Amino acid sequence: MQIEDITVRQRTREGTLSNTIKVASLNLTAVNTRNEPMQLEGALTVLGDGTTPALDIELEGAIRIASDFSTIAVDGLATEVLGALTQPVTSTLNGVLTPSPAKADFTLDATLPGGDITGQLIWSALESPEIKLDVSTARLDVDQIQPASRPATIATAAANEPASPPTSESSSDSAPVPLPVGPLQNLDLELSVVADELVAAGQSITDAQVLMRVRDGVADIDYIRGVLHQGQLDTRVSLNARRPVVEAEVEGGLKGVNIGLLLASLGNNDAASGRIEMSWDVKSKGVTAEDLVGGLDGDIKAAGQDLVLEKVSVQGLVCNAVAVVNKIPPIAGLPTTTPITDLSLGIDFDEGVGDIERLRFATPGIVMKGSGDVDLGSMDFGFRMEGQVNNDIMQVSPLCVIDQRYAGVDWPVDCAGNLSSEAGASCKVDVATIAEQILANEAKRQVQDAIEEKAGSFIKKLFGD
């Protein structure tokens, strides 16, 4: 049996065109209804309703039809699909299709742009989820799985829309790419993924587990779990793609993460070592990934013990300031790193700019608190810390002596830098502010001494010697 050059048009009850399928060729040999193999080959194009990219599909394999037409068995049906993603998708299906009610249960082996997957595919026209897909993979790079470009008609319509006035942000060489959420709007899907390695947003998650439900344009990822930078990741994500402006909410945490690996993934290598705990509860909205970063709103918290800042020594900075205040030569042999016995950080984001509301850390001889800001757009940050210094800092150098005159003096440290820069943070001690405090304290003591001296003289005159 051979079919060639057939066009099938599907319409809604209201008469609106919903899909067009063009069958270039469809060949079925050894036709029978004795449940014996028949060879199927074909090529067709699914045009949809014109709002999605056309799909070119080639298929080849064997099918078996039961004598009562109750089931159709699929044996090694190989397919290649072009147009769904930026690269071809190949797959092999084995299983059974039941025509009435329409339902299919297949095992699936597929090659995607980001890796190979195996699993089970269940499709049911009358149930929800309509598609249930459970897959496993050795490695899947989600960043490479991108939908194909929009049809030319849509691209032309977008080009004819009034252009926005140019801004400094939009003057880059290439226009921002909209989020690839179009397929979510028509899916009724439950997806479960188990991956030895899952790559997303450039980050590698090992022993990954993902459970996602898509319905009515909303994707709820119940959990993304796995090992990220040697820490345990557990987070939840919700994407609402019902409107052109996508709304996203992310909540979760990361326990025992290696801070050195985390910063290195941002481009800042060898900046710190040790492990921290992190938690986040943020939301955003936008049309592009850049919009989501620029519109981030919510809280991120971190805490850790026994950390080391590898590129700056707060103790060294303070000891150099002590040398200036004590009017002695610069102290040699000071450390170049900062051991941190306790760290606490809290950032409140609003429109992509974070207010560092809480910053506290302790290192031998110094306990500091501070505040500052961080901009996710540029990755620039800056903060100011103030704290008390005690003679435990003499562990760094015996010349780093804190005089009693410094009691109650706040030692301010200003830091600035870029999270993605190899240079790390640049910090300095505000010696002028320290000197002002010391002079003010000295003046207070002199006044107090004068008052006490006059009071003593008055008492002597009143009561005699």
Structure-block tokens of residue 403: 């005089």
Closest C-alpha among 250, 195, 268, 270 to residue 227: 195
Alpha-carbon separation of residue 412 from 321, 383, 438 (angstroms): 10, 10, 13
Least confident of 29-43, 103-117, 158-172, 386-400: 158-172
- Return the sign of the alpha-carbon dihedral for residues 10, 14, 15, 17: negative
Least confident of 29-33, 163-167, 271-275: 163-167
At position 246, the amino acid (one-letter code) is V
Rounded Cα gap, residues 171 and 152, in angstroms: 25
Place 170 in a pLDDT band, splitting at 50, 70 and 90: very low
pLDDT digits over 267-320, tens only?
888 889 999 999 999 999 999 888 999 999 999 999 999 999 998 899 999 899
* Over residues 49-64, mean pLDDT: 88
Which DSSP letter does residue 178 get? B
Structure-block tokens of residue 321: 């300031």
Q: What's the pLDDT at 204?
A: 95
Q: What's the pLDDT at 163?
A: 44
pLDDT for residue 151 is more than 60: no
Rounded Cα gap, residues 423 and 154, in angstroms: 45
Question: What is the largest distance, in Å, between two alpha-carbon atoms of the chain?
Answer: 132
HEC readout, 35-92:
CCCEEEEEEEEECCCCCCCCEEEEEEEEEEECCCCCCEEEEEEEEEEECCECCCEEEE
Q: What's the pLDDT at 196?
A: 98
Q: What's the pLDDT at 464?
A: 54
pLDDT for residue 333 is more than 70: yes
Measured in whole angstroms, the distance separating CA 409 from the mean position of its chain's CA atoms is 41
Q: What's the pLDDT at 443?
A: 56
pLDDT for residue 157 is more than 70: no
Q: What's the pLDDT at 224?
A: 96
Q: What's the pLDDT at 167?
A: 44
Which is more confidently placed, 324 or 91?
91
Closest C-alpha among 304, 202, 294, 191 to residue 254: 304
Place 94 in a pLDDT band, splitting at 50, 70 and 90: very high
Structure-block tokens of residue 312: 């700056």
In the structure, how many helices (H) and strands (E) does the chain have?
Answer: 5, 23
Give, for 461, the enclosing helix (H) or strand (E): helix 431-463
pLDDT for residue 365 is more than 80: yes
Rounded Cα gap, residues 302 and 231, in angstroms: 13
Decide if 417 contacts 405 (C-beta within 8 A): no
Q: What's the pLDDT at 240?
A: 93
Q: What's the pLDDT at 159?
A: 43
- What's phi and psi for 184, nearest 5 deg? -65, -25
What is the full DSSP assignment across 264-321?
Answer: HHTT-TTSEEEEEEEEEEEEEEESBHHHHHHT-EEEEEEEEEEEEESS--HHHHHHHH
Q: What's the pLDDT at 168?
A: 42
Q: Exposure string (b/e) for 402-438, b if CB count within 10 Å is 16 or more?
A: beeebeebebbbbbebbbeeeebbebebbeeebeebb
Q: What's the pLDDT at 344?
A: 96
Alpha-carbon separation of residue 108 from 76, 91, 96 (angstroms): 10, 7, 12
pLDDT digits over 372-388, tens only?
999 998 989 999 999 88
Question: How many CB atoms are located within 10 Å of the residue 98 CB?
Answer: 14
Alpha-carbon separation of residue 352 from 201, 204, 415, 428 (angstroms): 18, 24, 20, 27
Whether residue 101 is preceded by a cis peptide bond, meaning omega within 30 degrees of 0, is yes
Rounded Cα gap, residues 333 and 316, in angstroms: 9
Give every CB contact of residue 52 below 8 A, 6+ residues apart in sequence: 150, 151, 182, 183
- What's phi and psi for 258, nearest 5 deg? -75, 110
- What's phi and psi for 168, nearest 5 deg? -65, -35
pLDDT for residue 175 is more than 90: no
Place 401 in a pLDDT band, splitting at 50, 70 and 90: confident
pLDDT for residue 337 is more than 90: yes
Q: What's the pLDDT at 307?
A: 95
115-124 and 131-141 strand pairing:
antiparallel
Q: What's the pLDDT at 440?
A: 67
Q: What's the pLDDT at 147?
A: 76
* Over residues 150-179, mean pLDDT: 49
Domain ranges of the chain: 1-84, 306-452
The pLDDT mean for the chain works out to 86
Q: What's the pLDDT at 274?
A: 96
- What's phi and psi for 392, nearest 5 deg? -65, -20
- What's phi and psi for 202, nearest 5 deg? 80, 0
Rounded Cα gap, residues 441 and 448, in angstroms: 10
Rounded Cα gap, residues 183 and 185, in angstroms: 5
At position 33, the amino acid (one-letter code) is T
Cα-trace Rg, the chain? 33
Which is more confidently placed, 112 or 184?
112
Give, for 17, the enclosing helix (H) or strand (E): strand 17-29
Which is more confidently placed, 166 or 185?
185
Place 235 in a pLDDT band, splitting at 50, 70 and 90: very high
Closest C-alpha among 374, 350, 377 to residue 169: 377
